[in-house]
Copies of this chain bind each other. A is one copy, B any other.
Amino acid sequence: MRHVAALAGVGIKTVSRVMNDEPGVSEATRQRVLQASRQLNYQLDMAAGSLRRSGRQTLSIGLLLPSVANPFSSEIHRALEDTLSERGIAVFAASLDDDPEREKALVAAFLGRRVDGMVLTPIGRNQAYVIPEHSRDLPMVFIDREPVGIEADAVVTDNAAGAARAAAHLVGHGHTRLAYFGDTPEIQTARERRRGFLEQLGQAGIPTSTVYVREGLRDVESARLAALAVLSSDEPPTAIFSSQNLVTFGVMRALKELGASRRVALVGFDDFALSDMMDPGITVIAQHPERIGKLAAERLLARIDGDDGAPRTYVVPSELIVRGSGELLPSY
């Protein structure tokens, strides 16, 4: 900036005024400054600015996702970006990989960069460790899962209700022998989905004890093996609900291997690309990552702008998408 000032033959503060479009600069001076700044290819240093400026906004926020490469996460990321970029806010994105240590380290890294706020997917059992930051007035919005041990805004899918819809759908097509394949119950969303599914079956008069429940499935392969085992048993289920993308893929593979794709009904939680190109198309409970991301961004902006209402959890409804696999009738 000093250089620009020197070149334009004005004071440093005048350059600041021009760069920030502040009033009180004559058009002639203004042009001279702009000319000089272009010539020197000068650009304001935001960091230095926000250092001095009161309020100290850095116009950047931190985003913590299970993985930036995960399609569900990256759609949330995209929606957040779209909403925030309108305000000129840049997004630091990072992947957690289910590692609570990483979670803490990344929170610290973002804090050190003085982000204006954070959006995070909690993974540790307890998020109380961020209380100091949170009460220090750093806006935070949790997504996908509600935080434990801390009062903060959260944006989540109606996991239980969505799973219940899947249950009702399958029962409505006459199924009475059902199976639940799920992720580890360590994860809040997985617990909710199981609960919603089983409770709805209970209400439909299907004893929970007759439902085959298999949990702890974290990837395609484990889900595939689990499904193969159950489907080859004496009394295999006529319908399966899988609580998550990768689990759904595993079950699909098992069904295909056994040639049972058209015999055993399947409803998966989470939509995915090409689901309609499968044979049959896969019926799913779709989440709406765009809406989650957008809502999270809006809440974060509101908090940044000073909204200090009581923290709330916002629920984004899921949606049943009928494609064929969930409408197969029971065959014994």
When the two chains form their complex, are residues B46 and A48 in contact, meaning their CB atoms are under 8 A apart?
no
A93 touches B112 (CB 8 A): no
The reply to whether the CB of A278 lies closer than 8 angstroms to some CB of chain B is: yes
Among listed A116-124, A173-181, A233-241, A249-257, interface-contacting one = A249-257
A50 contacts which chain B residues (CB < 8 A)?
47
Alpha-carbon distance between A58 and B47 when the two chains are bound, in angstroms: 10
Give every chain B residue within 8 A of A94 (Cβ-Cβ): 81, 85, 90-91
Report A137 CB to chain B, min CB distance, Å.
Answer: 12
Indicate with 1 or 0, residue by residue over A106-145, a CB within 8 angstroms of chain B CB atoms: 0011111110000000000000000011001000000000
- In the complex, the count of this chain's copies comes to 2
Q: Which of A60, A108, A110 has the most CB of B within 10 A?
A: A60
A230 surroundings in chain B (CB, below 8 A):
none
Pick from B78, B92, B253: contact of A68, CB under 8 Å:
B78
Tier of interface size on chain A: 35 or more
- The reply to whether A92 and B95 contact each other, CB–CB distance below 8 Å, is no
Complex Cα spacing A95 to B84, Å: 12
CB-CB under 8 A from A278, the residues of chain B are 274, 277-278
| Contact A110-B90, Cβ < 8 Å, known A41-B136, A48-B51, A277-B253 | yes
Which residues of the partner chain B approach A109 to less than 8 Å between Cβ atoms?
88, 90
Interface: A303 (CB within 8 A): no
A77-B69, A94-B91 known; A47 vs B41 contact (CB < 8 Å): no
Contact A71 B71 (CB under 8 A): yes
Interface: A83 (CB within 8 A): no
Residues from chain B with Cβ under 8 Å of A313 in the complex? none
**Complex: A78 Cα to B112 Cα, angstroms:** 22
Verify if A186 is at the interface (C-beta below 8 Å from B): no
Q: A50-B47, A108-B43, A252-B277 are in contact. Are A93 and B77 (CB under 8 A)?
A: yes
Residue A272 at the B interface, CB < 8 A?
A: yes
Complexed CA–CA distance, A146 and B47 (Å)? 31
Partner of A41, one of B70, B82, B133, B249: B133
Chain B residues, CB < 8 A from A91 = 92-94
A292 to chain B, nearest CB (A): 13
Query: Contact: B132 with A41, CB < 8 Å?
Result: yes
30 A–B contacts, CB within 8 A, in A order: A41-B133, A41-B136, A43-B111, A43-B112, A44-B112, A45-B51, A45-B112, A47-B50, A47-B113, A47-B114, A67-B78, A68-B74, A68-B78, A68-B81, A68-B93, A69-B74, A71-B74, A77-B93, A90-B92, A90-B94, A90-B113, A92-B92, A93-B93, A249-B273, A249-B274, A256-B277, A272-B274, A273-B274, A274-B278, A277-B278
Further 13 A-B residue pairs, CB within 8 A, beyond A249-B277, A273-B274, A274-B278: A41-B136, A43-B112, A45-B51, A45-B112, A47-B113, A47-B114, A60-B92, A68-B77, A69-B75, A81-B94, A81-B95, A91-B93, A249-B273
